Structure 1
Amino acid sequence: MPVILNFSARSTLPENELEALRYIVRHNQNDVAITTNQRQMAIRYVESVNGFSVTPIHRDSFSRLINRNNHLARNLENQINNGRSFQQVTRDFMFQMSSNIGWQRGHRNALMNAIHSHSFNVNTDEFSCDKQFLECPITLCIPKQGIFVKNTLNSNICTLYDKSAFMNLTREHLPHPLSREKIVKEMIIERNMCYFDTISQHFIIMDADQQKQHCK
């Protein structure tokens, strides 16, 4: 059903009318807004970019009228998109997408670098715990190449993982095996920052004082 608007090239619609128009167009993709002087515009909501496209419907070939219709459509398009044209909305969306992709790629590279740099050859003779505490929660075996990973992002307890098995989790964008959190590089711990606590029966991350003693 068409929408009737009292609108001209210099008009500014109140926000409540704009919001009502947005609602109607979102739910009726092909609605046409008609001004009081019978000029018509097709308004379409494009969900993928969350923007509105306004196109004038020309009923004659007079260039002056065509220009007026174009100006009218641009004015309404800018208002319904909160001051931006549909082209600007699309461009901003694409920029945001590329920024997100760049951030995700940087995050992934940082995580991979942390895994590679903090991995080590596992020698059971170097640990003061039973071999059961060296088993990877994923493979249930003692890894040849391992990494220490926090049980949660804010935990001081860590667990030994098989490097290859843990990298497969990150490649498939799977959550942390224990906490179900998103895996981030801050969870990866250096080998010499962990020790086995015989009381709690866990690998513990050294606190600041322990690190100072360790470095002496």
Structure 2
Amino acid sequence: MKTRSKIIRAAAELFEKKGYAATTLSNITDAAAVTKGSLYHHFSSKEQVARELLRAQIPMSRIQPQASKWQETIDTSFIYAHLLQVNPVARAGVRLSLDGGVPPDLDAYGPTRDWIDLATHLMTQCQEAGHLLDCWTPEAAAELIQSTFVGAQLTSLQITGPERADLPQRLERMWRGLLPGMAALGVLLSLDFRADRWDRIPWEVPVTE
């Protein structure tokens, strides 16, 4: 594993377990088995490492565009749920977003804003295709989806621990509750949001936009 990747992974595991304030640069170098000189070659500070972790959240979970923007939205939620189960960088991003001990200029709210922006983009395309019910604006739909997902994953974290073992089942219930009041009937019947959706996500799909 390259030095930069080792540092990011070690920092992610520490931030998730201890929080930002309680993690020192020495902790990170020890966990990554690198020297401080090696760390400073890649990052100027602990804050920069945390910023890198926060920025990584959406890029990790993007797939190629799908013809159905509702299915793309659903699949993105299942991809990120899977990452939260297995990837310390994703879990650290959540911890940092909620950690009151991070410096104000770190912009811990950034990932939340980015997720809302992504969902708004997808919901705008749903609206343009006639697949979003008229009672919703893309912005309102996006905020509801994002906040409901956050609630589902935090509840899973509290009940089943960092692995969030029941998160796929919670996502199925989330979508089962949200979609009838948001998605047009013509598209609703074609959507796949079962808990095992992760196993059927098409990683190689034609680019449609």
TM-score by length of structure 1 reads: 0.23
Greater share of residues in helix: 2
Larger radius of gyration: 1
Higher RCO, 1 vs 2 (CA within 8 Å, ≥6 residues apart): 2
When you count strand as a share of all residues, which structure comes out higher?
1
